[in-house]
Amino acid sequence: MDLIVNIVLGIIVAATPLVFASIGELVVEKSGVLNLGVEGMMIIGAIAGFAGTIETGSFMVGILAAIIAGAAVALLFAVLTQTLLANQVATGLALTLFGLGLAALIGQSYSGKSAPDFPKLNIPGLTDLPIIGPLIFGQDGLVYLSFALVAGVAWVLTRTRTGLIIRAIGENHDAAHAIGYPVVAYRYATLLFGGACAGLGGAYLSIVQTPLWVENMTAGRGWIALALVVFAAWRPWRSLLGAYLFGGITIIQLHSQALGLQVEPQILAMLPYLATIIVLVLISYDKAKARLNAPANLGKTFFAST
Amino acid sequence: MTISKSLKAAGIAVFAAMLGAAGAVAQDKTKVGFVYVGPIGDHGWTYQHHKGLEAVEAEFGDKVETTYVENVSEGPDAERVIQQLAQQGNDIIFTTSFGFMNPTIKVAKRFPDVKFEHATGFKKADNVSIYNTRFYQGRYIVGQIAGKMTKTNTIGYIASFPIPEVVMGINATYLGAKSVNPDIKIKVIWVSTWFDPGKEADAAKALVDQGSDILMQHTDSPAAIQLAEQEGIYAIGQASDMKTFGPNAQLTSLIDDWAPYYVERVKAVIDGTWETSDIWGGLANGMLKMAPYSDKLPEDVIALAKEMEEKIKSGEFHPFTGPLNKQDGTQFLADGEVISDEVLLGMNFYVEGIEGSLPK
């Protein structure tokens, strides 16, 4: 029983960075922008969060630094693609490379240091309960935040006017513009939100999961977050599910090896990706439905001629 | 008029002299290239190779010009990078990961005048030398330490890829542990990567959850040792001294010291005496060192480890000495027989006693 609880705890830790990064990118893509620079924003968030924590000794400062740094990188993307109308795919890829390089540069003086342990919720009585205690009442604050964020995004996108406008811009920016909505301003806002979330996801890695800084420590998680958005068919709760599925398969395959199950680890390592591909095939099987899922103007440059 | 003319002539002369000097310098400088599989900041494998590069620079100063490319993934990308370094006129190129073997051999064929050195592989050519360290020597020692120090009789081992290099490390660790603790078990998790701190930490956590109280790894980041520190258990460092990540957790570490080798090989290129070679160093020649033993270790365990270090150094003891059986029970070393390097370099089986199956 303890082992199962531990496995679930491991899954939560592995999934949370993906939840943050993918929910941010989901909002960005809902507004019709494709930012492939998630990996770059994550790694900048990772180093900013780590540096902030080390310099001030305060996790709050570290987390804020990560949010601001992620948003700052996203701002760069916004200026390039929304104001200067650069190609989104190329800019996003460049942003990833830029982020990895810049983070390595900033991080030079931080490699070899360890951050203190991140505090976890501890409610006397509740946290001590068997099984549900550690699972529900014993997480770190960022895990609760990640759930709140997904709930918030789901609510805003489907139940509020702001969400309606974001979706309208993503579906048809020319029409939204004609009605009088400030397309570029909204896209700046969603991009900044996406950057902040990616930064937070990176900080979760460098402060909570492995409290240290090493170059390239995001190791491709930004790309997985991008895939999860498609996997989720641009639906917030499904992106959370996807992140947990991905984290779950990763952790379970590690445990199954330690338990000595006779399965080739290469196959296990492949499983999360395999599951993603299968779901992608399933959701795009029906072309009409696939078109309904994806924002129609995703990745298209908007230029207001009038 | 004459003054300006002579000035002009003088100017040309100076310019020509400068050109000549620049040309001479360019010819004199030996260009050295390095290809790294991870980032220098990994504080493990690549970090140690880069220390070797720095030693080369310190030794030869202006006489050499070094270039390195980090984060080169094993595979087609490596070939492109190695080719580029060769085209840039490097005289000698060190490719520092097992997966660079085939790309190195391929590029070496196209550049017969460039000298290549490939770490941890087994394919040679006229202009390709190979060099490696007998990490298994150190792993036998840390196996003994782990066997003495574990309370749960379970070692947790994070492995990268099932290549002979890694497999012999697991076997050596197990044999070392078994020699002092007959009840020892070793749990191995293959993470299919050399460098992914998040995944290494996840694997370390899984091992701890399943009863391991000593962690060791054949991956390149300090994530596992840091997790051991958090969990209040022990760990063994990898490739470099990782004490800063686990001041209480690290019992010792295997340290790769490539610097003397790199200096020697670059010197050979400068002197024009470079020849194809096949070096497999270890404790004896200093390519492998043990980090200072932790004060958490009891005196007798330290004494045991030091004694074993000496025995291996002197050649009195080889970790793979028969009688030894493969996992399936078939004997591969008769009583008293010492394993040949050839068998060791192709090791693709677990020794008897290790549970779980080795991935193919």
C-alpha span between A188 and A198 (Å, rounded)? 15
- Phi and psi at residue B99, to the nearest 5°: -70, -5
Q: Where residue A306 falls among pLDDT bands split at 50, 70, 90? A: low
Cβ contact, residue pair B245, A112, below 8 Å: yes
CA distance A260 to A255: 9
User: Cβ contacts (< 8 Å) between B196 and chain A: which residues?
Assistant: 219-220
Residues of B in contact with A258 (CB under 8 A): 156, 187-189, 206-207, 210, 212
pLDDT at residue A137 greater than cutoff 90 = no
Task: For the domain covering A2-293, report its CATH number.
Answer: 1.10.3470
> Where in chain A are the domains?
2-293
Best mutation site among A208, A250, A257 for testing chain B: the one with the most B CBs within 10 Å?
A257
Q: Which residues of A touch B40 (CB under 8 A)?
A: 215
**Is B209 close to A250, i.e. CB distance below 8 A?**
no
Chain B contact set for A113 (CB, 8 A): 244
For residue B24, give every residue at least 6 positions away whose Cβ sits within 8 Å of its Cβ, in sequence order, or none. none
Q: Which helix (H) or strand (E) holds B23?
A: helix B2-28
| A265 → closest Cβ in B201, B206, B359 | B359
Whether residues A212 and B156 touch (CB distance < 8 A) is answered with: no
Q: Are strands B214-217 and B64-69 parallel, antiparallel or unpaired?
A: unpaired
* pLDDT in the model for residue A153: 97
Higher per-residue confidence, A124 vs B102: B102
Quick check: B189 and A257 CB within 8 A?
yes
Residues of chain B with pLDDT under 70: 1-27
Question: Quick one: which H or E segment has residue A102?
Answer: helix A88-107
Q: What are the tens digits of pLDDT across the range A22-68?
A: 999 999 999 999 999 999 999 999 999 999 999 999 999 999 999 99
| Chain B contact present for A172, CB below 8 A | no
Q: What is the pLDDT of residues A156-203, one digit of tens each?
A: 999 999 999 999 999 999 999 999 999 999 999 999 999 999 999 999
CA distances in angstroms from A165 to A57, A193, B243, listed in the order given: 41, 16, 54
Give A267-291 pLDDT, tens digit per residue. 777 777 787 788 778 777 777 777 7
- In which band, very low, low, confident or very high, does the pLDDT at A266 lie, cut at 50, 70 and 90? confident
Lowest mean pLDDT among A140-144, A221-225, A299-303: A299-303
What confidence score (pLDDT) does residue A170 get?
Answer: 94
| Pairs of residues, one from chain A and one from chain B, whose beta carbons lie less than 8 Å apart | 125
Chain B, nearest residue to A108 by Cα: B41
Q: Which domains are seen in chain B, by residue range?
A: 8-134+258-281 (3.40.50.2300), 136-255+290-345 (3.40.50.2300)
